[in-house]
Amino acid sequence: MAEAGRLAGTLAGPEWILALRQTAARGRRGRAWVTPDGNFSATLVMMPREAPGVVALRSFVASLALFDALVAVTGRAEGLSLKWPNDVLLNGGKLAGILLESLGPRRGTTHLAIGVGVNLAAAPGADEVEPGALRPVSLVSETGAAVAPEALLEALAAAYARHEAAFVTYGFGPVREAWLARAARLGETVAARTGRSEVTGTFETVDDTGNLVLKTAKTRQAIPAADVFF
């Protein structure tokens, strides 16, 4: 992501950046993150033209693309699911995360960086994630599939290009439907936590602006940003 910020102003079009090693990895909300050798860390830098709310929906585009890429490199979809807003699960554990950042104006254009991290070869220990978070898992430990970062990038770049074209052409509707078809815990009780509050309810849907919709005992609540716990 840091390299994306450095290069953004020099790029003429979308660009993927693959890091084989990171010394300052980070996750959502600036959390520190460990990236062992053999895992996947890549960022797509692009220059979207839409309003910020539409640009943010690319987290769903990216997670669909990553789902398809993982199927392509392993030959299996069993056990894979998508967790709102931007994680990929395997056999109920966290396999991958996606992070979107606006890089701000570069030569008059705001760039978007879509960071993708996948535990291909190794996963953090349970003591390295916050209490109540899903257990981290790796692709090789859960499936036996040893996939090189370069091979996953090839599959991911192709899948993302396909989903991006559909998103630009047809809008969020088809992306939303495809995402919901792969959603983890749809129809079940989940908790959505922000820094100041927690809402528990039935995961009913994702609305047409990407909000998580929970049905509580008293109302239906649309949540734009939170960490979800099962």
CB neighbour list of residue 83: distance below 8 Å, 6 or more residues apart = 89, 94, 134, 183, 184, 185, 228
Q: What are phi and psi of 79, to 5 degrees?
A: 90, -15
Q: Name the pLDDT band for 107 (thresholds 50, 70, 90).
A: low
For the cut 80, the answer to whether the pLDDT of residue 35 exceeds it is no
Number of neighbours of residue 127 by Cβ within 10 angstroms: 6
pLDDT of residue 27: 63
Alpha helices in the chain (DSSP H): 2-7, 52-55, 58-74, 139-143, 149-170, 172-181
Distance between CA 47 and CA 45 in Å, rounded?
7
For the cut 90, the answer to whether the pLDDT of residue 103 exceeds it is no
Specify the higher pLDDT residue, 31 or 125: 125
Distance between CA 185 and CA 188 in Å, rounded?
5
Strand order in the sheet with 227-229: 220-223, 212-215, 198-206, 189-193, 227-229
Tokens 């395997």 label which residue?
Answer: 90
Low-confidence winner among 26-30, 99-103, 125-129 (lowest mean pLDDT): 26-30
pLDDT digits 0-9 by tens, 113-165:
999 999 999 998 777 777 778 899 999 999 999 999 999 999 999 999 999 99
Q: Name the pLDDT band for 22 (thresholds 50, 70, 90).
A: confident
pLDDT digits 0-9 by tens, 43-83:
999 999 899 999 999 999 999 999 999 999 999 999 999 99
pLDDT of residue 66: 98
pLDDT digits 0-9 by tens, 167-221:
999 999 999 999 999 999 999 999 999 888 999 999 999 999 999 999 999 999 9
Average pLDDT for residues 93-121, to the nearest whole number? 87
Distance between CA 200 and CA 223 in Å, rounded?
11
- Evaluate whether 123 touches 69 at the Cβ level (below 8 Å): no
For the cut 70, the answer to whether the pLDDT of residue 28 exceeds it is no
Number of neighbours of residue 76 by Cβ within 10 angstroms: 11
Task: Return the C-alpha torsion angle 184, 24, 122, 85, nearest 10.
Answer: 0
CB neighbour list of residue 49: distance below 8 Å, 6 or more residues apart = none
For the cut 80, the answer to whether the pLDDT of residue 21 exceeds it is yes
pLDDT of residue 109: 59
